[in-house]
Amino acid sequence: MLENKKVSEIIKLIQTKQISVKEVVEFYLARIEKYNPKLNAIVLLKETEKILEEAKKKDNQQNKNKSLFGLPLAVKDLSDVVGIQTTYGFKGYKDYFPKKNSFFVDKLIENGAIIIGKTNTAELGVGGHTINRLFGPTSNVYDLSKSSGGSSGGASSAVAAQLIPFADGTDQMGSCRNPAAYSNIYGFRPTPGVIASARSDNQKNIPILTTPGFLSRTPDDMTIILDSVTGKNNLDPYSLELKSNFQNFEIKDSEIKNIKIGWLSDINSNYKFENEILEICEKKLSELNKQNIKIDFLKSDINTDELWDSWLTFRSRSIFMDIGSMSIKDINEMTFQAIWEYNRGKDIKDNDIDIALEKRKKSINDINQIFKDYDFLALPSAQVFPFKKELNYPEKINDFNLDTYHRWIEVFILSSLLELPTITVPVGFNKNKLPMGMQIIGKKNDDLKVLAFARKYEQMFNYSKIKPEI
Residue 52 three-state SS = helix
175 is catalytic: yes
Which residues 6+ apart lie within 8 Å of 349 measured at CB?
none
Q: For the beta carbon of residue 90, count every other beta carbon within 10 angstroms.
A: 23
DSSP 89-123: T-GGGTT---SS--HHHHHHHHTT-EEEEEE--SG
Contact between 409 and 174 (Cβ < 8 Å): yes
Contact between 121 and 402 (Cβ < 8 Å): no
329 is catalytic: no
Among 67, 102, 147, 175, which one carries the catalytic annotation? 175
381 is catalytic: no
Taking the C-alpha atoms of residue 74 and residue 156, their distance in angstroms, rounded to an integer, is: 11
Taking the C-alpha atoms of residue 140 and residue 206, their distance in angstroms, rounded to an integer, is: 34
Among 151, 197, 239, 381, which one carries the catalytic annotation? 151
- Rg of the chain in Å (alpha carbons): 21
Taking the C-alpha atoms of residue 129 and residue 138, their distance in angstroms, rounded to an integer, is: 9
DSSP 337-390: HHHHHHHHHHT--HHHHHHHHHHHHHHHHHHHHHHTT-SEEEEES-SS---BTT
- In sequence order, which ranges of 103-234 are alpha helices (DSSP H)? 103-110, 153-160, 177-181, 219-229
Q: What is the largest CA-CA distance in the chain?
A: 62
Q: Partners of 84 in the beta sheet?
A: 81
Q: Identify the helix (H) or strand (E) that includes residue 43.
A: strand 42-45
Taking the C-alpha atoms of residue 470 and residue 161, their distance in angstroms, rounded to an integer, is: 8
Taking the C-alpha atoms of residue 225 and residue 207, their distance in angstroms, rounded to an integer, is: 26
Q: Catalytic residue positions?
A: 76, 151, 175
